[in-house]
C-alpha cells in the first residue's frame, strides 16, 4: 500500500489516540473530513488498521507479574509447531508469542496476578505440553518503554 505524507500523519495521529474526532484527525492529516473518513475505512479494509483497542495498565488491572518465557520444543515438526501455537493462542495469560531463532523456539510475554498464578500456569499449561522440552523464565522488574506505535517515517 502506497502511503502519502497525509496518510502517515493520519496513521501517526491514530496510533497515539484513536479516540480523536474525525475533524481533529482531518486537521492533523491536512485532509477534508470526508477524505479522512474514507482513508480510515481503506486502512481498515486493507488490514493496515487491524483493530482499535483500549490499552490497560497491567499493574492497575491487578497483574503484578510479567514474564518473558523462552520455550524450547522437543522436535521441530509442523505438527508440534501447529499444536503448540494453537495451544498458546488459547491461553489468556499469553499476550504475545514470537517464534524466534537461537537456542529457544518461542518467546512468550505472560501476565499473571501473582507468583502462585505463574507457577500454576507454567507447570499446567506450558511444561505439561507434549511439544515442550524446556522453558526458561525471565521476570520483568519494571517496564522501561512500552509503545504499540510503529515508527512511521514522515
pLDDT of residue 154: 61
Locate the DSSP E strands across the chain.
65-73, 94-99, 106-112, 132-139
Tell me the three state secondary structure of residue 112: strand
Please name which of 112, 97, 103, 101 lies closest in space to residue 67, comparing C-alpha atoms: 112
pLDDT at 91 over 90: yes
pLDDT of residue 141: 97
Please name which of 74, 67, 72, 64 lies closest in space to residue 95, comparing C-alpha atoms: 67
pLDDT of residue 1: 82
Q: How far apart are CA 131 and CA 154, in angstroms?
A: 44
Q: How far apart are CA 87 and CA 103, in angstroms?
A: 21
Confidence of residue 119 (pLDDT cuts 50, 70, 90): very high
Q: How far apart are CA 44 and CA 51, in angstroms?
A: 8
Q: How far apart are CA 112 and CA 138, in angstroms?
A: 14
Average pLDDT estimate for 61-81: 98
Ordered structural domains, the chain, with CATH: 5-46 (1.10.10.10), 65-139 (3.30.70.920)
pLDDT at 66 over 80: yes
Amino acid at each position: 500500500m502506497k502511503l502519502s505524507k497525509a496518510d502517515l500523519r493520519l496513521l501517526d495521529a491514530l496510533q497515539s489516540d484513536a479516540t480523536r474526532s474525525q475533524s481533529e484527525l482531518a486537521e492533523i492529516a491536512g485532509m477534508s473530513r470526508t477524505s479522512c473518513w474514507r482513508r480510515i475505512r481503506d486502512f481498515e479494509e486493507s488490514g493496515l488498521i487491524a483493530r482499535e483497542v483500549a490499552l490497560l495498565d497491567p499493574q492497575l488491572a491487578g497483574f503484578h507479574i510479567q514474564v518473558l518465557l523462552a520455550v524450547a520444543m522437543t522436535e521441530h515438526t509442523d505438527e508440534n509447531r501447529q499444536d503448540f501455537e494453537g495451544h498458546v493462542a488459547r491461553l489468556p495469560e499469553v499476550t504475545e508469542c514470537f517464534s524466534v531463532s537461537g537456542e529457544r523456539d518461542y518467546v512468550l510475554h505472560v501476565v499473571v496476578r501473582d507468583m502462585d498464578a505463574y507457577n500454576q500456569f507454567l507447570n499446567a499449561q506450558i511444561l505439561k505440553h507434549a511439544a515442550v522440552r524446556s522453558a526458561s523464565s525471565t521476570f520483568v522488574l519494571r517496564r522501561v518503554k512500552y509503545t504499540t506505535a510503529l515508527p512511521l517515517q514522515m
